[in-house]
Structure 1
């Protein structure tokens, strides 16, 4: 089945799926409330399946791409889970040290979409690392619904420490020159903002895609340049943007922000109907240009 466009679905149903994807409602509640949109032989369960990630749609850079070297890497997170793992990708023809970029997954662990984004970053010439917050629970389980449930079982403050440790580890990696960028999506977008706050001496550039904003009191700690991507229909996340922008201006933080009209939260994720090809490609081209400008 080809990926259906978001325009095929009622916006109320897409918003309902967003509530389900972020655990604000459970599966049964989603199915009950989605029943009114079931028509043409489709059940509520079928609608959920169509709206959920399909990783057959996700691969842009093959796992065996000859331009890259990839591996599972381990690192220490003494203030978090202790031992952590992630997906490391770098150009196969590495000569000299390169900037590093942390890729932060959504609220469901290091799934195939995020692994593909790690490879997309690496083919641009960076040492890219995608930590898996589900490492202490066995890693991404191969199913997003299970992954979402597992991530919800971890303490948020420990997950934060795991990503802080990942950035510190990557900065000291033998192939890295110590300059670190961060790009994250959904939960990962909020984490990209958090790492800019927590690691001003390491994080040079951060790109949150539809991520929660830090509290205003923390914004002056940011030394990184920011590129912020928001989805026009994402009222839940966008409500925090005016206060964040005011704080960024007051603190003199260098930033660019783009809101993509008429697209949903998750518009960059090419495994679901919420994906918007034009906006995703534009946002990604801006991201690559931004990293080349800020990291080299």
Structure 2
């Protein structure tokens, strides 16, 4: 994992406003106007805004040309969703019909399949998992190359159909010719919500779920969650953290197998290494815990 630290010290208010902007509660102009109101020595609104808005050139940790993996774009049927879904599949080159690998669905944030999420899929493949990252924006032609348009496109789609697309992706991956009978899911922000949702709607299929700063599924679905779950939260993520106490009560009532970690002073999105919300130490620890969790519950590659 990367260890370089953000070069800009950003006030907490700016992080909070960026979270509102990233989730569509305010527009870009309002976000930058608020940032301009801060009195921060030596930092302009442009400097702070640029530090927070993702720079995906920073996000590549594993090259798509790495010989240990093979990346392709695949489609899958989604009859209850948008009819057909698509995504980014990364397979360890040693995987085959004779040497099956456990699989993990990788779920993006609220703006489509951006370069950071593709890199996360490649990181998992380097750890011996078949990783598939569906793109909620596939029905509209896919991630447009920038987050503002991506957010608008994702908001324009029917939320229930998007959810069914991810359920269909999980089912498709579970039957992929190079995967074993073990399936996990990891997601970030919106993807954390989808991870909780799949744990609730596909409890007999999902063998391990890892929501990064994600809200729970609807209350009526939560009783179906058995785990195992590994949940990651940033201490300064007030919006998501407010949903955790009640969700934890349900998990305890279910007798669910879960572990939750709260990372001291970390922001929402602390794992995303393309923005100054990134916390290298916390991201590395959370990722190592995630890989270990998948290794434990999805087990090593099997042969037949």
Distance in 1 separating the partners of 2:42 and 2:286: 36
1:104 equivalenced with 2:107 (yes/no):
yes
Q: Which residue of 2 aligns with 1:67?
A: 68
Q: Is the 8 A contact 2:8 2:48 kept in 1?
A: no
Q: Which residue of 1 aligns with 2:86?
A: 85
Q: Is the 8 A contact 1:214 1:244 kept in 2?
A: no
Distance in 1 separating the partners of 2:209 and 2:36: 40
1:54 equivalenced with 2:76 (yes/no):
no
Structure 1 residue runs of 5 or longer lacking an equivalent are none
Q: 2:234 aligns with which of 231, 234, 238?
A: 231
1:250 equivalenced with 2:253 (yes/no):
yes
1:155-179 Cα deviation digits (max 9, x unpaired)? 1101000000000000011011232
Distance in 2 separating the partners of 1:58 and 1:4: 13
* Distance 1:259-1:6 versus aligned 2 partners, 3 A rule: farther
Q: CA RMSD in A?
A: 1.7
Distance in 2 separating the partners of 1:184 and 1:10: 27
Distance in 2 separating the partners of 1:84 and 1:6: 39
Structure 2 residue runs of 5 or longer lacking an equivalent are 300-304
Distance in 1 separating the partners of 2:146 and 2:30: 20
Q: 2:149 aligns with which of 122, 129, 146?
A: 146
Distance in 1 separating the partners of 2:181 and 2:87: 18
Q: Is the 8 A contact 2:64 2:70 kept in 1?
A: no
Q: Is the 8 A contact 1:229 1:283 kept in 2?
A: yes
Q: TM-score, normalised by structure 1?
A: 0.95
Q: Which residue of 2 aligns with 1:205?
A: 208
* Distance 1:72-1:38 versus aligned 2 partners, 3 A rule: farther
Q: 2:289 aligns with which of 265, 279, 286?
A: 286
Q: Is the 8 A contact 2:140 2:153 kept in 1?
A: yes
Q: Which residue of 2 aligns with 1:135?
A: 138
Deviation at 1:31, TM superposition (A): 2.0
Q: Which residue of 2 aligns with 1:35?
A: 36
1:264-288 Cα deviation digits (max 9, x unpaired)? 0000000000000000000000000
1:201-257 Cα deviation digits (max 9, x unpaired)? 210100000000124442231233000000000010001111111110111000000
The runs of at least 4 aligned residues of structure 1 exceeding 4 Å deviation read: 38-43
| Segment of structure 1 superposing worse, 44-53 or 245-254 | 44-53
Distance in 1 separating the partners of 2:49 and 2:83: 36
Q: TM-score, normalised by structure 2?
A: 0.93
